[in-house]
C-alpha cells in the first residue's frame, strides 16, 4: 500500500504508517490503505502484529486537518465512521496487536494506539486528544477508549482541556505499558511480538476474545464466555502438544494454530 508498509518476520508482522512529510497524519488514503493492509494479513501464519509510524518523530500526529476543515456535518460523521471502522477492525483482530509509539500520538494517533492491545512508547512520545481546541470532538473512538483505559476523571481532564502528556505520565496513568529509548522501541516491540507468537495461537486468540468480550458484560456472563473459550481449546493439536511438552519436560513445542 502506498502509505502503509507491511513486513512479515516469521510468525509476527510489522505494519508501518508511512506518510512522513505529514508526520504520518491520517487522511482518507491512509485509512483506506490501512484497512486494505489489515484485510491482507494471513492469520494462519501471522500470530502477532506490531503497528508503528515511519521516522523518529511521529507515530501518527493525528487526523489530517486540511482534509477535515471543509467537511459538512454529514461528511464529518462519515469520516469519523471510516476511522472508527478501521480502528475497530484493529481492536477485534483475532491476533494481539502492539502499538510501538515512536513520537507524536495526538488525536487520531492516540486513538490508533488505543485500539491496539498493548502500547509501548519511546521516551519522546507525546499523547493527547487536542480536538476541542479545533472545535470538534475526538472522532475515532477517543472519548470511548480513553475513559476505558485510564481513570474516568483523568480521561475527561485530558479531553476537555486538550492537554498533551509525555511518555512518563502516559505510563503513570496506565496508557502505556513501558517507555524505551527511541532506538530500543521497535526492537522491544518486536521482541514482545515474537514472544507472543511462540505461544499456542489458538489459546492466545481465545484469551484476547475472552478479555475483550468479557469486559463488556457483567461478571456472571463474562465467566461463561471464559468457560466456553477454555473448553474450545481442548482436543486441539496445540493443547495436546503443549501439555505433552510439559509432561515430558520437552522444551521445543510445535504449535500450528490448529
- CB contact at 8 A, 58 and 109: yes
Strand partners, 14: 7, 50
Reading the block at residue 118, the C-alpha cell is 498493548
Is residue 111 annotated as a catalytic residue, yes or no? yes
C-alpha separations of 179 from 17, 99, 101, 168 in Å:
20, 12, 9, 7
Is residue 131 annotated as a catalytic residue, yes or no? yes
Catalytic residue among 29, 111, 226, 252: 111
- Under DSSP, the state recorded for 22 is G
Strand partners, 16: 5, 52
What DSSP assignment string belongs to 34-96? HHHHHHT--TTT--EEEEEESSSSEEE--B-HHHHTT--HHHHHHHHHHHHHHHHHHHT-SS-
Catalytic residue among 29, 131, 184, 227: 131
Hey, which residues are catalytic here?
111, 131
Amino acid at each position: 500500500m502506498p502509505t502503509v508498509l507491511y513486513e512479515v518476520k516469521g510468525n509476527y508482522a510489522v505494519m508501518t504508517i508511512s506518510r512522513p512529510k505529514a508526520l504520518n497524519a491520517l487522511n482518507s488514503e491512509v485509512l483506506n490503505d490501512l484497512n486494505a493492509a489489515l484485510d491482507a494479513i494471513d492469520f494462519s501464519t501471522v500470530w502477532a502484529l506490531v503497528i508503528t509510524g515511519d521516522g523518529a518523530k511521529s507515530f501518527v500526529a493525528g487526523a489530517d486537518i486540511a482534509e477535515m476543515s471543509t467537511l459538512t456535518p454529514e461528511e464529518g460523521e462519515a469520516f469519523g465512521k471510516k476511522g472508527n471502522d478501521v480502528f475497530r477492525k484493529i481492536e477485534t483482530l483475532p491476533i494481539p496487536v502492539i502499538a510501538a509509539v515512536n513520537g507524536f500520538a495526538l488525536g487520531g494517533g492516540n486513538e490508533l494506539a488505543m485500539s491496539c492491545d498493548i502500547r509501548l512508547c519511546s521516551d519522546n512520545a507525546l499523547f493527547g486528544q487536542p480536538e476541542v481546541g479545533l472545535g470538534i470532538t475526538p472522532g475515532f473512538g477517543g472519548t470511548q477508549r480513553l475513559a476505558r483505559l485510564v481513570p474516568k476523571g483523568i480521561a475527561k481532564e485530558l479531553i476537555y482541556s486538550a492537554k498533551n502528556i509525555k511518555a512518563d505520565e502516559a505510563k503513570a496513568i496506565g496508557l502505556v505499558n513501558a517507555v524505551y529509548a527511541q532506538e530500543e522501541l521497535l526492537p522491544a516491540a518486536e521482541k514482545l511480538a515474537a514472544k507472543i507468537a511462540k505461544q499456542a495461537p489458538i489459546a492466545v486468540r481465545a484469551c484476547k476474545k475472552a478479555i475483550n468480550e468479557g469486559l463488556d458484560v457483567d461478571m456472571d456472563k463474562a465467566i461463561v464466555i471464559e468457560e466456553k473459550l477454555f473448553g474450545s481449546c481442548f482436543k486441539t493439536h496445540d493443547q495436546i502438544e503443549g501439555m505433552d511438552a510439559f509432561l515430558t519436560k520437552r522444551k521445543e513445542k510445535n504449535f500450528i494454530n490448529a
